């Protein structure tokens, strides 16, 4: 089942920890710190999710959109690519790539609705369409992304743990608040999420994990990363986000 992943561009493009989360020179000049970058990414991942709920697209589209978003910023600076436009455009592009197109008009309607209070960046349809093209180039036209959801189901069935699926599913959703999707094969992320859920729900799964013969060290690293999100970034005070966003170039 995972055979297609191993042969995919997604697999070939997996990055090391030092290739994600860094601050590009243009952003450094504006005073953005690694922490700011992290906050902005979380904030806009949430924005993508909110837009998706309003425009009623599938979870898979949200996941792909966030993966595009995070991938773009491993190479492009926030200064050059305004994340407030890139985020919705990622959703737009992902909706096409995942075969459930959202109309640009509808998207822009909700963009304005959700962010009506935040002035300074009202984007129009033409901005989204223009950014779509730049985004495609920034992604080097690689659009196929694999997600942990499918392996998750199979793994849980195999482990006889389908009763905790809701918990694991939600942890997987939250894993997109991190850069994990750019760094690890989706089934490993699924395992990391299962691992956390098992600890929370007090499930004894040591034997099952051992039989899988996966690198438990990696699985636990993934789990730690997600846990770090729960501990430190689950409820980010608005001032912190505003302070980080204020360092971005303001649109005239």
Residue ranges that bind another protein, judged by CB under 8 A: 1, 3-4, 7-9, 46, 49, 53, 56-60, 62, 92-93, 96-97, 99-101, 103-105, 125-126, 128-129, 132-133, 136-137, 141-144, 149-150, 153, 165-167, 169-171, 173-174, 196-197, 199-200, 216-217, 220, 223-224, 227, 230-231
Per DSSP, which regions of the chain are E strands? none
40 vs 139 by CB, closer to another protein: 139
Rounded to a whole number of angstroms, the minimum distance from the CB of residue 16 to another protein is 19
Distance of alpha carbon 48 from alpha carbon 26, whole angstroms: 24
105 vs 213 by CB, closer to another protein: 105
Rounded to a whole number of angstroms, the minimum distance from the CB of residue 94 to another protein is 11
Q: At what angle do helices 104-114 and 125-138 cross, to 10 degrees?
A: 100
Rounded to a whole number of angstroms, the minimum distance from the CB of residue 57 to another protein is 8
Rounded to a whole number of angstroms, the minimum distance from the CB of residue 108 to another protein is 10
Distance of alpha carbon 85 from alpha carbon 75, whole angstroms: 16
222 vs 248 by CB, closer to another protein: 222
46 vs 79 by CB, closer to another protein: 46
Specify the residue for token string 């691992």.
195
Rounded to a whole number of angstroms, the minimum distance from the CB of residue 103 to another protein is 7
| Token couple for 53 | 């709920």
CA–chain centroid gap for 171, Å, is: 13
59 vs 74 by CB, closer to another protein: 59
Specify the residue for token string 């699926």.
165
| CA angle (127, 131, 136) in 5-degree steps | 160
Distance of alpha carbon 153 from alpha carbon 166, whole angstroms: 11
32 vs 62 by CB, closer to another protein: 62
The HSE-up count of residue 57 (CA atoms within 13 Å, CB side) is 29
Among candidates 218, 147, 227, which has minimal Cα distance to 187? 147
Helix (H, G, I), strand (E, B) or coil at 104: helix
Are 143 and 95 in contact, with CB atoms under 8 Å apart? no
9 vs 250 by CB, closer to another protein: 9
Rounded to a whole number of angstroms, the minimum distance from the CB of residue 190 to another protein is 12
Helix (H, G, I), strand (E, B) or coil at 48: helix
Rounded to a whole number of angstroms, the minimum distance from the CB of residue 132 to another protein is 5
């Amino acid at each position: 089942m995972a055979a297609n992943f191993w042969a995919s561009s997604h697999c070939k493009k997996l990055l090391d920890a030092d290739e994600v989360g860094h601050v590009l020179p243009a952003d450094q000049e504006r005073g953005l710190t690694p922490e700011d970058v992290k906050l902005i990414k979380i904030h806009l991942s949430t924005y993508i999710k909110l837009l998706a709920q309003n425009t009623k697209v599938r979870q898979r589209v949200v996941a792909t959109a966030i993966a595009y978003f995070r991938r773009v910023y491993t190479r492009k600076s926030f200064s050059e690519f305004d994340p407030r436009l890139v985020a919705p455009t990622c959703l737009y592009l992902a909706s096409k790539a995942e075969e459930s197109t959202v109309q640009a008009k509808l998207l822009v309607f909700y963009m304005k609705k959700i962010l009506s209070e935040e002035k300074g960046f009202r984007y129009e349809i033409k901005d989204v369409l223009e950014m779509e093209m730049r985004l495609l180039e920034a992604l080097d036209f690689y659009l196929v992304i694999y997600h942990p959801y499918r392996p998750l189901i199979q793994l849980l069935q195999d482990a006889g743990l389908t009763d905790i699926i809701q918990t694991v599913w939600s942890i997987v959703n939250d894993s997109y608040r991190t850069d994990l999707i750019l760094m690890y094969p989706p089934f490993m992320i699924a395992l990391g999420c299962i691992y956390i859920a098992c600890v929370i729900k007090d499930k004894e799964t040591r034997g099952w994990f051992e039989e899988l013969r996966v690198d438990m060290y990696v699985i636990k690293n993934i789990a730690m990363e997600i846990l770090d999100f729960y501990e430190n970034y689950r409820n980010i005070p608005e001032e912190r986000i505003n302070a980080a966003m204020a360092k971005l170039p303001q649109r005239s």
